Amino acid sequence: QLAEAALKRAGGEVNHDTVAAYAFARTGYHRGLDLLRRNGWKGFGPVPWSHEPNQGFLRSVGALASAAKTIGETEEYARCLDLLEDCDPRAANELGLD
């Protein structure tokens, strides 16, 4: 939520809110990975959007993708989109990244 709010404040511009969004999203991404792994996820395979507890992690990946794209980190942006596709092909669309 913090990353999404910072991205909204940034308005698509590169500024301190964009950098904050990137940091918030990266933190959410790593904490989400920790939780998924604690629950048996091996780093690959489905992470369905339809399972509400997964949505925080997937939203973090989506916010990280958006922030990365804004600051010109095209490789990070592509990695995030690939991860979303691997987790759940619907996730990018649900997050407005299609």
Task: Answer for the pair 67, 25: CB distance below 8 angstroms, yes or no.
Answer: yes
Helix axes 74-87, 55-70, angle to 10 degrees: 160
Q: What residue spans of the chain are helical by DSSP H?
A: 2-10, 16-38, 55-70, 74-87, 91-94
Q: What percent of the chain has pLDDT over 70?
A: 99
Written as one letter, the residue type at 68 is A
Name the one residue in this structure whose structure tokens are 């991404």: 29
Mind listing the pLDDT tens digit for each residue in 34-75? Answer: 999 999 999 889 999 999 999 999 999 999 999 999 999 999
Predicted TM-score of the model (pTM)? 0.95
* pLDDT, mean over the chain: 96
Residue 33 tokens, joined = 């990975």
Whole-angstrom Cα distance, residue 28 to residue 37? Answer: 14
Q: What is the mean pLDDT of residues 62-91?
A: 97
